């Protein structure tokens, strides 16, 4: 959770304090709830506190998922991962507090400034891949790697929303019979087909992010979210055309966007490939 824009003042209907955290301003608002700026209990560090919407709070299935996924997030530490500092999944309105990292989400950068230079794309991929290696090393899968969940800062990229992505409302998610949740434009073929999602799925979606960051174009073309997901599902028979992408980036894209999960590099190897680019 982070943003480059100054927090907005609290609104009249916003709380002023949550569980002893004095709220200083609004950072943002989304489908899950509202994010507020506060400070750690010792006052030393800026903290982003996400308060879950009341509608979600009344859903017991949501509350159970939220508790489970926050516990998973707290179990993972590593470079380029925003740490969870506190939470209460059992409060009347559950909340989650993370370190506040000033920066700009990659999707905002691409929308406002256009594609990134190839060298910067590779640096973003290398940092995100190192974060994913820590996630995977804990036996977990992010399942929602996308530009909106990569925060660009002066210290490099930070991977956001690990552990709570699956608790988001369904307006931007694709839910299958197996309750696999993610963003249709940023899914692996196996995810889009409703098959088992492994760490290799995160590597594929990081490849999609790299391709789009370098050119502003999604490698599976234009269209609605489900149209793109359908094309991704058919990768084994109709892989994306990478000839229009920068030559320096194509080896990384070819490796990460392989249709076969077993053929893709690990997240740790992807970081090496990006660093060597």
Q: Where are the alpha helices (DSSP H) in the chain?
A: 54-57, 60-74, 106-113, 118-137, 189-192, 199-215, 225-233, 250-256, 267-275
Closest CA to 221 of 185, 264, 250: 185
SS3 state of residue 57:
helix
Residue 146 annotated as lining a ligand binding site:
no
Q: Is 144 designated active site?
A: yes
The CB density around residue 88, as the number of other CB atoms within 10 Å, is 15
Exposure string of 16-49, with b = 16+ CB inside 10 Å and e = fewer, is: eebeebebbebbbebebbbbbbbbeeeeeebbbb
Task: Provide CB contacts within 8 A for 245, sequence distance 6+.
Answer: 211, 214, 215, 219, 253
For the chain, count helices (H), then strands (E).
Answer: 9, 10
Contact 52, 70 (CB under 8 A): no
Task: Provide CB contacts within 8 A for 201, sequence distance 6+.
Answer: 141, 143, 187, 188, 190, 191, 261
Catalytic residue among 42, 107, 144, 238: 144
Closest CA to 183 of 196, 170, 197: 170
Feature table: binding site for ATP: 50
Catalytic residues: 144
């Amino acid at each position: 959770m982070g943003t480059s824009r100054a927090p907005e003042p609290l609104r009249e209907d916003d709380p002023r304090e949550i569980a002893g955290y004095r709220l200083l301003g609004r950072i943002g608002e989304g489908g899950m709830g509202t994010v507020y700026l506060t400070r750690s209990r010792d006052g030393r560090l800026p903290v982003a506190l996400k308060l879950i919407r009341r509608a979600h709070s009344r859903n017991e299935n949501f509350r159970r998922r939220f508790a489970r996924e926050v516990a998973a997030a707290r179990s993972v530490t590593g470079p380029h991962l925003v740490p969870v500092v506190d939470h209460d999944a059992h409060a009347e309105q559950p909340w989650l507090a993370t370190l506040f990292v000033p920066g700009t989400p990659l999707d905002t950068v691409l929308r406002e400034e256009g594609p990134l230079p190839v060298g910067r794309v590779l640096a973003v991929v290398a940092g995100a891949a190192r974060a994913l290696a820590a996630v995977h090393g804990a036996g977990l899968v992010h399942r929602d790697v996308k530009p909106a969940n990569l925060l660009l800062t002066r210290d490099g990229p930070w991977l956001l929303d690990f552990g709570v992505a699956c608790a988001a409302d369904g307006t931007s998610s694709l839910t299958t019979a197996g309750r696999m949740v993610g963003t249709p434009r940023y899914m692996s073929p196996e995810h889009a087909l409703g098959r088992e999602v492994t760490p290799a799925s995160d590597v594929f979606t990081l490849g999609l992010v790299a391709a789009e960051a370098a050119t502003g174009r999604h490698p599976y073309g234009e269209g609605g979210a489900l149209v793109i997901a359908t094309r991704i599902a058919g990768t084994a028979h109709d892989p994306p055309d990478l000839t229009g992408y920068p030559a320096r980036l194509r080896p990384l894209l070819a490796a990460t966007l392989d249709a076969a999960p077993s053929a893709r590099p690990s997240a740790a190897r992807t970081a090496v490939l990006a660093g060597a680019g």
